[in-house]
């Protein structure tokens, strides 16, 4: 069984949302974690119309790489060694999601590194919410999308954070909610130290 992991370029694409990946492929890229086998990954995204060709497209673009081949078919999430970066991140990745997802500490980065070129913080958050509500939550996110439309400040967006993350958690699961939380918190707090 082949296990894929994001390359440095793939991690950068997720973190900066560089717009070089189609939204559907971005969902697939988010799910590539260095632990999930190829077959299981494709089962997760089959309902989205994604298949092996899309995985190959990410591979060709240099966003993912094959990280293991267990050959047994019974492989699991524990193929990483204790010294690998994947294993070092497992402890944080396996923390249980709860209804009150606290904001994690965001590393201090400049606004230029976080914001897409030519966008203000407000615009970047607005586009993030709209794009991800549509692609991750679908029609069930209509009420939340209306709240985003009514938001008039970054503080209004911060108040929507928890509701948004709970909706994503319910619709797509813990892994995607955690990934989107990281990007959202970068935009909401732009390198500020957050209050726990």
68 strand-pairing partners = 3
Percent of the chain with pLDDT over 90: 19
pLDDT digits (tens, 9 = 90+) for 68-106: 554 444 444 333 333 333 333 333 333 344 444 444 444
Cα–Cα–Cα angle for 17, 19, 23, nearest 5°? 90
Place of tokens 């230029």: 112
For the chain, the average pLDDT equals 75
The answer to whether the CB of 77 falls within 8 A of the CB of 35 is yes
Say what the pTM is: 0.46
pLDDT digits (tens, 9 = 90+) for 50-59: 888 888 888 8
Handedness of CA 61, 53, 13, 152 (dihedral sign): positive
Could you state, in order of their start, the residue ranges of all structural domains in the chain? 2-93, 111-189
pLDDT digits (tens, 9 = 90+) for 108-145: 455 566 777 778 889 989 999 999 998 889 889 999 99
Percent of the chain with pLDDT over 70: 72
User: Which pLDDT does position 68 carry in this prediction?
Assistant: 57
């Amino acid at each position: 069984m082949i296990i894929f992991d994001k390359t440095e370029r793939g991690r950068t694409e997720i973190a900066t949302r560089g717009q070089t990946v189609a939204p559907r492929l971005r969902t697939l890229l988010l799910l590539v974690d260095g632990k999930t086998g190829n077959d299981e990954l494709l089962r997760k995204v089959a309902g989205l119309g994604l298949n092996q060709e899309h995985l190959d497209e990410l591979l060709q673009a240099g966003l993912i790489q094959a990280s293991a081949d267990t050959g047994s078919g019974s492989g699991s999430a524990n193929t990483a060694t204790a010294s690998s970066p994947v294993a070092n991140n497992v402890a944080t990745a396996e923390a249980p999601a709860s209804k009150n997802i606290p904001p994690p500490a965001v590393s201090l980065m400049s606004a230029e590194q976080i914001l897409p070129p030519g966008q203000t913080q407000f615009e970047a958050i607005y586009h993030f919410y709209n794009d991800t509500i549509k692609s991750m939550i679908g029609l069930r996110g209509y009420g939340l999308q209306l709240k985003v439309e009514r938001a008039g400040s970054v503080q209004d967006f911060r108040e929507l954070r928890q509701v948004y993350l709970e909706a994503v958690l319910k619709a797509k699961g813990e892994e995607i909610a955690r990934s989107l939380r990281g990007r959202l918190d970068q935009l909401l707090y732009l390198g500020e130290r957050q209050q726990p």
